[in-house]
Amino acid sequence: MPVDGSTLNKNNTGGLLQNLSALLPIGKTGEYGIILSGNGASGGFTNDPRNFVQVKIAILLPDHLGGYQMGTEQLISDPYINGTQSILVTDFNADGTPDIFMSAENEMPFILKPSIAYMSDGSGKYKKVTLADSVINHSAMLVFIDGKPTVVATAYPLDDTIAGRGTTNAIYTFENGAFKIQSTQYINGVASGTLGRFGANGELEMIRGDVVSGWNGKSWTAMNIVVYPFDGKDVNVSKPIQTIVPYLSTLPEYKDFPANIGGKGLTHTFQLWAIELNNDGHLDVLAGETMWSSANTNFPSALQVLINNGDGTFKDETARLNSTMSLNVEQIDYNPTFLDIDNSGIQTLFFGSQNFYATQRQSNYLILNDGSGQLHVGLHDEFQDLAKQATSFVNSQYQQQGFSTNPDVFFPKFIAVPQPNGDVNYVAIVNAGHWYDTAKTLWQDQNFLVNMPIAFNPTTDFKKNIVMSDRNHSTLMRTWAGNDSFYANNASTSSAHIDGGLGIDKSIYSSSIKNFAIKGTSANTFEVKTNSTLTSSKISDTLVNVERLVFTDSSLALDLAGNAGIAVKLIAAVFGKDAIANKNFVGIGLDLLDKGMSYDNLGTLALGAAGATTSDAIVSLLWRNVVGSVASAADKAPFIQLLDAGMSGGELVHLAADTVFNTNQVNLVGLAVTGIEYTPL
Ligand SMILES: [Ca+2]
Ligand SMILES: [Ca+2]
Ligand SMILES: [Ca+2]
Ligand SMILES: [Ca+2]
């Protein structure tokens, strides 16, 4: 396991300062192994090389029975690395198989070391490569510059007197069979960074967190996120493009918070992730932040949302777009997984962290993005119950051997493992505390890995009703199984694609229906476009799985294969085909069906409203409306017999309404292209 036994001694008891994980794509598309590693801890914050902690990596492979088995030795022959805080997985050598990059990081003690990479060798195994750097990289971020994988490292802000600076803020690319390492300018204080084509015309920018300024003789007075131009080789720190105050430091309630890393009221930005959040074509940024404090264990943490204004500057939209994540949690994952799990083109965010003595403040999260940049907590509180299950499993299996664990002491880290079908399973890392190794006569940390195949699938299991009040210029939005509402505020001037998923979803427009061209193009798909006459607020929407359109003067139901189809067929059968033009009738039918009333029960209700109470009256009514003639006694007899034998009136309505006579007379095929107007209740 990650800390190797041969390096253990009384100073190095095998503790991991960071318990990191990353997914390793393996086998079929959508299948993953799990890489585990971290950086060790011993000897405190010194630079005594005798206390250096060597760490191993471990790789778990799926056992195809829903669990995992150790697979390290199948893939690599030398698992020793120099500690890391960033496990980065991508295909650097472009051979079709992902490689693994472990940027070196050690804080206890501070020791400069080379980074380690495991490169796919073409035989299904990995070759270990020791890089020609010398680093304590607090952060290393994988970004893609024009499709090329690039590692952007941020060196720990070392004082020259501790251990030298080594290779400062290196940028790594893979060129001609080897890693090219390019050192960039040393900047006071920085702990995190990312690089990307954030500019209006794709200009490169380097963004750094924890950039300190305003030394007052005792402490820094500011510690901010700073956006710099990047010329392809280095940052230009003398011309910052923008200085951004970390979210927590913008909140009055934390103005005087006794934060340790920066000082009073200052926020530590430990990670910066470049990610497209609102799908407007301009790369955005998420910042991982904390006011870690030894004096106040209820320190706040945050995920700051910085939306690109389109010109390479950013707007802090945390309060508006990330309102559901609590600030009263432990620091979130340094090495989260961002992955498109439903082929929507939108990434879901997975954060897993081990938390000590902090059950209520645990920071495991599954975060969903609806595509407008609005983030929703998919799973968080649920981990409390899962933690109880995982720890009681460990206790039931291993208590006799002396192991015991308690989520209130060691809250597990939950590693998300998406499945090819979009389900998300978890592996919990359960810390069972210290354990005495009689052979080595020392105490060691012990972790158990517990497989938790919960099969959470947001497409079907996330039932919150989403209100997208602002599209934030997005061209790609999708929601889940709730009844969702999409407003067109700040709609993109380009074409937009919206998928409402399961549930009765509405797209709402703030002008008259006469300004729009509306057309069903294929199953569950409608195009809604503003006419050329409407030059302001142009809309060009492709709506999938969206059931209703709402305009200022009219509403349209599009789900002719769903509730709207039932309402129309049923109204025609019971009230006559002309009645489908009665928008109130359609609206009442939709309202009842959307609330869950069955086709048959609505049929019975409609018969009552039409005054058909006897078997004869029911059959006569349906025959007249569906067949179009007055039924003879012989025509009616078999149906009257069915009713008298116990069939409900509603069931007979259902049968009659679904006949081809009826679907033809209401022109169901045509309605599937135009939709049907209704008056909402
Ligand atoms: Ca490769
Ligand atoms: Ca964006
Ligand atoms: Ca929905
Ligand atoms: Ca839907």
Residue 26 dihedral angles phi and psi, to the nearest 5°? -150, 145
Does residue 30 carry a pLDDT above 90?
Answer: no
109 pLDDT band (50/70/90 cuts)? confident
Lowest mean pLDDT among 28-37, 258-267, 576-585: 28-37
Rounded distance from Cα 126 to ligand 1 centre (Å): 9
Q: Cα dist. 95→90, 121, 124, 480 in Å?
A: 11, 9, 11, 36
Q: What single-letter amino acid sits at 15?
A: G
Rounded distance from Cα 506 to ligand 3 centre (Å): 9
Bridge partner residues of 61 (DSSP): 69
CB-count burial class (<10 Å; 0-12, 13-18, 19+) for 492: buried
608 pLDDT band (50/70/90 cuts)? very high
Rounded distance from Cα 306 to ligand 2 centre (Å): 9
In the three-class reduction of DSSP (H, G, I as helix; E, B as strand; rest coil), residue 671 is classed as: helix
Rounded distance from Cα 96 to ligand 3 centre (Å): 36
Q: Dump pLDDT digits (tens) for 323-367.
A: 999 999 999 999 999 999 999 999 999 999 999 888 999 999 999
Q: Dump pLDDT digits (tens) for 541-576.
A: 999 999 999 999 999 999 999 999 999 999 999 999
Minimum-distance ligand to the CA of 465?
Answer: 3
423 pLDDT band (50/70/90 cuts)? very high
Does residue 534 carry a pLDDT above 70?
Answer: no
Helix ranges (DSSP H) in 423-494: 458-461
In the three-class reduction of DSSP (H, G, I as helix; E, B as strand; rest coil), residue 94 is classed as: coil
Minimum-distance ligand to the CA of 484?
Answer: 3
Residue ranges with CB less than 5 Å from ion ligand 4: 500, 505, 545
- Alpha carbon distance 210, 2 (integer Å): 29
- Alpha carbon distance 196, 176 (integer Å): 23
Rounded distance from Cα 275 to ligand 2 centre (Å): 8
When computed from its CA atoms, the radius of gyration of the chain, rounded to whole angstroms, is 31
Give the pLDDT score at 18: 76
- Across the range 134-147, mean pLDDT stands at 95
465's tokens: 């009703």
Residue 589 dihedral angles phi and psi, to the nearest 5°? -60, -45
| Structure-token match 């009073």, residue found | 264
- Across the range 583-599, mean pLDDT stands at 98
Rounded distance from Cα 374 to ligand 3 centre (Å): 15
Q: What share of the chain is helix, strand, coil (3-state, %, to 5)?
A: 20, 35, 45
Q: Cα dist. 542→27, 43, 312, 498, 507 in Å?
A: 35, 60, 29, 6, 11
Q: Dump pLDDT digits (tens) for 435-491.
A: 666 776 666 677 889 999 999 999 999 999 999 999 999 999 999 999 999 999 999
- Across the range 495-505, mean pLDDT stands at 98
- Alpha carbon distance 585, 6 (integer Å): 78
Rounded distance from Cα 310 to ligand 2 centre (Å): 8
Rounded distance from Cα 21 to ligand 2 centre (Å): 27
Residue ranges with CB less than 5 Å from ion ligand 3: 479, 484, 500-501, 503, 505
* Long-range contacts (CB closer than 8 Å, 24 or more residues apart) made by 324-327: 324/375, 324/376, 324/377, 325/365, 325/367, 325/375, 325/377, 325/380, 326/380, 327/248, 327/251, 327/300, 327/301, 327/302
Instruction: Determine how β-strand 178-182 pairs with β-strand 192-196.
Output: unpaired
Rounded distance from Cα 89 to ligand 1 centre (Å): 9
CA-wise closest residue to 533 among 512, 548, 508: 512
Rounded distance from Cα 79 to ligand 1 centre (Å): 18
Helix ranges (DSSP H) in 314-433: 318-321, 382-398
Give the pLDDT score at 402: 77
Minimum-distance ligand to the CA of 525?
Answer: 4
Minimum-distance ligand to the CA of 279?
Answer: 2
CA-wise closest residue to 152 among 162, 136, 166, 137: 137
Q: Dump pLDDT digits (tens) for 67-102.
A: 898 999 999 999 999 999 999 999 999 999 999 999
45 pLDDT band (50/70/90 cuts)? confident
Give the pLDDT score at 605: 98
Give the pLDDT score at 422: 94
Helix ranges (DSSP H) in 31-102: 72-75
Rounded distance from Cα 148 to ligand 1 centre (Å): 13
- Alpha carbon distance 32, 114 (integer Å): 27
Helix ranges (DSSP H) in 118-270: 160-163, 247-250
384 pLDDT band (50/70/90 cuts)? very high
Q: Dump pLDDT digits (tens) for 211-226.
A: 999 999 888 999 999 9
> Are the C-beta atoms of residues 476 and 494 closer than 8 Å to each other?
no
Bridge partner residues of 41 (DSSP): 108
Minimum-distance ligand to the CA of 321?
Answer: 2
Rounded distance from Cα 675 to ligand 4 centre (Å): 15
Minimum-distance ligand to the CA of 120?
Answer: 1
CA-wise closest residue to 619 among 640, 634, 604: 640
Rounded distance from Cα 173 to ligand 1 centre (Å): 13
Rounded distance from Cα 418 to ligand 1 centre (Å): 21
Q: Dump pLDDT digits (tens) for 302-322.
A: 999 999 999 999 999 999 999
Q: Cα dist. 537→118, 225, 477, 494, 534 in Å?
A: 51, 34, 18, 11, 7
Minimum-distance ligand to the CA of 557?
Answer: 4
Does residue 432 carry a pLDDT above 90?
Answer: no
Rounded distance from Cα 289 to ligand 4 centre (Å): 36
CA-wise closest residue to 507 among 495, 489, 481, 532: 489
Minimum-distance ligand to the CA of 467?
Answer: 3
Does residue 404 carry a pLDDT above 90?
Answer: no
Give the pLDDT score at 240: 97
332's tokens: 């979130």
- Alpha carbon distance 27, 562 (integer Å): 39
**Which of the 8 DSSP states describes residue 389?**
H
- Omega before 109 cis (within 30°)? yes
Lowest mean pLDDT among 154-158, 264-268, 391-395: 154-158
Global pTM? 0.95
Rounded distance from Cα 474 to ligand 2 centre (Å): 8
Across the chain, mean pLDDT equals 93
Does residue 53 carry a pLDDT above 90?
Answer: no
- Across the range 407-411, mean pLDDT stands at 90
Give the pLDDT score at 8: 63
416 pLDDT band (50/70/90 cuts)? very high
Burial of 64-76, coded b for 16+ CB within 10 Å and e otherwise, reads eeeebeebbeebb
Rounded distance from Cα 336 to ligand 1 centre (Å): 21
| Structure-token match 């409306």, residue found | 625
623's tokens: 């025959």
- Across the range 417-432, mean pLDDT stands at 93
Bridge partner residues of 81 (DSSP): 55
Give the pLDDT score at 65: 80
42 pLDDT band (50/70/90 cuts)? confident
Q: Dump pLDDT digits (tens) for 159-199.
A: 555 556 789 999 999 999 999 999 998 888 889 999 999 99
CA dihedral 591, 595, 597, 599 (to 10 degrees): 60
Residue ranges with CB less than 5 Å from ion ligand 1: 91, 93, 95, 97, 99, 120
Rounded distance from Cα 115 to ligand 1 centre (Å): 17
Give the pLDDT score at 14: 62
**Which of the 8 DSSP states describes residue 515?**
G
